[in-house]
Every structure is written in C-alpha cells, then in structure tokens.
Amino acid sequence: MIDFNLPKDLIATEPVQPRDRARLLVYDRKSRTITDDYFYNIGLYLPKNSTIVVNNSKVEHCRWLFDGGIELFVLDKLDTHTIRAMVRKGNKFKLGMTTQLTSWLDVEVLAVDGDGIRTLKLSVSHDDERLQNFEHVPLPPYIPQNDKLSDEYQTVYAKPLGSKAAPTAGLHFTKELLVKLQQSHNLIEVTLHVGLGTFAPLTERQLKSGSLHSERYEISEKAAQVLNMARHITAIGTTSVRTLESNKTTQGFCANFSSTDILIQPGYKWRAVDSLVTNFHLPGTSLLLLVESFVGSEPELKRIYNHAIAEKYRFYSFGDAMLIL
C-alpha cells in the first residue's frame, strides 16, 4: 500500500464554490496518461454509453456537543431512549455512572465495549426536539466543527438518513451538472450508509480475513433493471463501488436490502464497475487500497498521487477528484 508525504496546505478544509469548480485528474488505465481538468468537464471524458451510479445516503446529525467539551458521537439508536455512542471526556462515562449533560438531560452508562463504545440510556427520548440544538453534522476530524459547512457536507441528491460521513466523491456535483449529464447518460441512485470504519486505518486482522466493517446498502428494483441493461458503469465514490461489487453475481444485479463487509484490495477480480470517480484518500485506509486495486499497480497509483501533489490538488473530503477510466 502506498504512503506519501502531503503538505498541510493541500488538505482541503472547505469546498470550492461552486462545487463543480473542483479540479479533476483524469487517469486512463490503457494509455496510462494523466490529464488535468475541472470537474464540470467530466462529461467530456465519460464514455457515452456509461451509466452513472451515485450513493444517495444522507449524513445524520449524529455529533452531539454539550458544554464543557462533552461529546457523544451516536452510532446506533437501539430504542427510544437507548443509544450506542463514542464519547469524549470518557472519565464522565464510566460503567454505571449517570452524567448530567443539560438541565433536562441525564445519561446512564449501561455498558462499555472493548472499543470504548458506550451504551447509554437517555432521560428523554432521542427524538426530543430540544436535542436538535445540540446535534450537528459530523465534519472530518481535521476540520473544526462549523455548522455553516453542514449543507456543503451533503450531496445535492442526498435522501435517506443513515451515514456517519459523506460519500465525498459526490460532493462535486451540482444540480445543473447532473441535468447536463443526464442528457447523454443514465443516472441511477443506490444507497449505502457510510460507517466510521470507512476512514479508519486498516488492521492486520482485516487484511487477513479479507473483510471490513459492515455497512447497510439498498438497490431498488428499478435501479437493478437499469444496471442489468448497462453496457458500461461509472461508480461515483468507493461507497457506490462497495454496493455494486457486493451485489452483482453471475446472474447480474438484483434488488436488495442487505449489508456488505467487502474489502477490495490488489488481486480482486472486478465484476461490476468500469470507471471510478473518487477523491484523494488518506494513506493506510481501505479506500486507498480499493483505488490501488482499480488502477492496477502500486507504483502507478504512487505516480498518480505524486502528480496530484506536485500540481497542488486538494486532498480528502472537501478536496478535488479523480476519474479513473
């Protein structure tokens, strides 16, 4: 897996405006050529018969911030009053302890698992409208919490709530660009709810087992029909890739509500995706390993990333994009 030294000034902490003014690196796997352009020109490079697949999952307001630096990052809502969450200021969330978060909200720690995740019982329902003042869209950890960026951290086609992080390759699309692309391409939506494990460093256990954390996905009957007629598929983001590659069998795609723990790494035999749009990722993650597999070799991916750094592309969630043909 490649590693690289990234200057701090290339880490994007906010998006460009408009969204589709982000830069676009186009890599052709057959010719091994690199072209520098802008995202609004992506239609010039996509094969005319390609079906574009986007992940329409919407990021939840799952980061709860309270006075005194206390934070709950809500992973699951088990019932009306019980949640699983990562916590900040763990000394206030020991097993059996009850902590007051506001004048009207207490939480009791019911369990602490091996990863430090707490099962918490709230004194009010998690649907209580008063909680909305404390709930935030979780920006990446290298970006200070800024609610002005909350809408920017959602795709323009986001619909069902369920993700803990944005499917960031889709952040570059504007509604106008989508309309333009649909004049010559099919565009379909699938859903994969992004978990925090997507961005976590890979472990030896995951590499040996060939599986990752599990994420829920859905492909509708209509989407499956379009996919089965597609002659060429362009996946927007690694989450769309995980959905498509997990679902396709020798019989094709099928409508399904399921989950996937697929780990795509070098040596994987691709069966669904022909082109990929993705951002520039952190080293040591499953995302970068997936892209390496799609490019075809570690040295070639390193060459692409070195080019991106030399040309001052912006990296990570609010950064620029790459189209791999």
Q: Domain holding 86: CATH number? A: 2.40.10.240
Q: Which of 112, 136, 160 is the last residue of a domain?
A: 136
Q: Which domain holds residue 38?
A: 8-59+146-324
Same-domain status, 67 and 25: no
Same-domain status, 193 and 293: yes
What pLDDT score was predicted for residue 282?
86
Same-domain status, 172 and 238: yes
Same-domain status, 55 and 69: no
Q: Is residue 104 part of a domain?
A: yes
Q: Is residue 1 part of a domain?
A: no
What pLDDT score was predicted for residue 205?
73
Same-domain status, 13 and 124: no
Same-domain status, 198 and 105: no
Q: Is residue 97 part of a domain?
A: yes
325 half-sphere exposure, CB direction, 13 A CA radius: 19
Q: Which of 84, 108, 136 is the last residue of a domain?
A: 136
CA distance 78 to 75: 10
Side chain identity, residue 93: F
What pLDDT score was predicted for residue 303?
97
What pLDDT score was predicted for residue 141?
85
Could you tell me which of 70, 74, 66, 68 has the C-alpha nearest to residue 137?
74
What pLDDT score was predicted for residue 198?
65
What pLDDT score was predicted for residue 214?
87
Same-domain status, 78 and 202: no
Same-domain status, 190 and 302: yes
Cβ neighbours of residue 119 closer than 8 Å, sequence gap 6 or more = 78, 82, 83, 84, 109, 110, 111, 112, 113
CA distance 42 to 64: 37
Per-residue pLDDT of the chain (325 residues; tens, 9 = 90+): 788 899 999 999 999 999 999 999 999 999 999 999 999 999 999 999 999 999 999 999 999 999 999 999 999 999 999 999 999 998 999 999 999 999 999 999 999 998 899 999 999 999 999 999 999 999 998 898 899 999 999 999 999 999 999 999 999 999 999 999 999 999 999 999 998 766 666 677 777 666 777 899 999 999 999 999 999 999 999 999 999 999 999 999 999 999 999 999 999 999 999 999 999 998 888 899 999 999 999 999 999 999 999 999 999 999 999 999 9
Q: Which of 117, 136, 155 is the last residue of a domain?
A: 136
Q: Is residue 318 part of a domain?
A: yes
Same-domain status, 161 and 260: yes
For residue 30, give the CATH number of its domain: 3.40.1780.10
Q: What does the block give as tokens for 269? A: 């035999």
What pLDDT score was predicted for residue 200?
65
Q: Is residue 3 part of a domain?
A: no
What pLDDT score was predicted for residue 208?
66
Q: Is residue 2 part of a domain?
A: no
Same-domain status, 163 and 124: no
Q: Is residue 158 part of a domain?
A: yes
**Peptide bond preceding 18: is omega within 30 degrees of 0, i.e. cis?**
yes
The position carrying tokens 């978990």 is 195
What pLDDT score was predicted for residue 203?
73
With 0-12 CB in 10 A as exposed, 13-18 as middle and 19+ as buried, what is 179? exposed
Q: Is residue 289 part of a domain?
A: yes
Same-domain status, 28 and 83: no
Same-domain status, 224 and 96: no
CA 318-4-278 angle, to 5 degrees, is 35
Could you tell me the maximum CA-CA distance found in the chain, to the nearest angstrom? 64
Distance of CA 190 to the CA centre of its chain: 13
Q: How many domains does the chain have?
A: 2
Could you tell me which of 292, 54, 244 has the C-alpha nearest to residue 166?
54
